[in-house]
Amino acid sequence: MPGLIGKKIGMTSVFSADGKNVPCTVIEVGPCVVTQIKTADTDGYEAVQLGFEEKKEKHTTAPMAGHFKKAGVAPQRHLAEFKGFNEVNLGDTITVDLFTENDFVDIQGVSKGKGFQGVVKRHGFGGVGQSTHGQHNRLRAPGSVGACSYPAKVFKGMRMAGQMGNQNVTIQNLQVVKILPEHNLMLIKGSVPGSKGSILIIEK
């Protein structure tokens, strides 16, 4: 589906028509420029490559500089491909006007990295043991992870402590609450992956 590249600005809240306080995420969406149009004849599939945020040419590799020069646009910091665009040309600028209020969108981003975490925080385990009578060192332990004589191994996929966060996450069916085209801003109901300043992919 068609979409745009954006940047997470932060969170706020607005009041709905019935007086409810709605938490919203503020996203800077576009403007994005068309840097490449892929066709089935030349690339094997149809898609449109969009660029977001200009950068200096001295920070661009020679092959990418030639790629942007062919499209007639300034070097872009972030690139992404989208399907479903019709009648677009190289160098065209697509703004937040692609979306309308009350649309439903899918947003993809990289979640916040939380480092190495135990099973209580990572998987929601309740912990084992007692909090009294000397059982103080097993409160947040994972418990048994496998059987002894059979199968005599730990099954693959067993939930254990480990790296948490810093993964690609897609949240579907988020509602567009408000659009501010003069500032290229969009207000999305609820939260989205990532921290402030992280790059997001917003698709219809």
In this predicted structure, the answer to whether residue 16 has a pLDDT above a threshold of 90 is: no
Is the model's pLDDT at 183 over the cut of 90? yes
pLDDT at 129: 66
Give residue 144's pLDDT band: very low, low, confident or very high (50, 70, 90): confident
Tell me the residue ranges of DSSP E strands in the chain. Answer: 3-15, 21-29, 32-38, 47-54, 76-82, 93-94, 104-110, 115-117, 162-164, 168-180, 185-189, 199-203
Tokens of 1: 């589906």
**pLDDT exceeds 90 at position 112:** yes
**How far is Cα 50 from Cα 80, in angstroms, rounded to an integer?**
6
Residue 167 reports pLDDT greater than 90? yes
How confident is the model at residue 22, as a pLDDT? 94
**Does 13 have pLDDT greater than 90?**
yes
State yes or no: pLDDT of 135 exceeds 80.
no
Mean pLDDT lowest among 28-32, 90-94, 133-137, 163-167:
133-137
**Average pLDDT value over all residues in the chain:** 92
Alpha helix stretches (DSSP H) within 44-189: 62-71, 119-123
Confidence band (pLDDT; 50, 70, 90) for 191?
Answer: very high
Residue bearing the bigger pLDDT, 132 or 187: 187
CA distances from 50 to 44, 94, 95 (A): 18, 9, 11
Convert the pLDDT of each residue in 30-56 to its tens digit. 899 999 999 999 999 999 999 999 999
Place of tokens 């947040």: 140
Give the percent of the chain with pLDDT over 90.
78
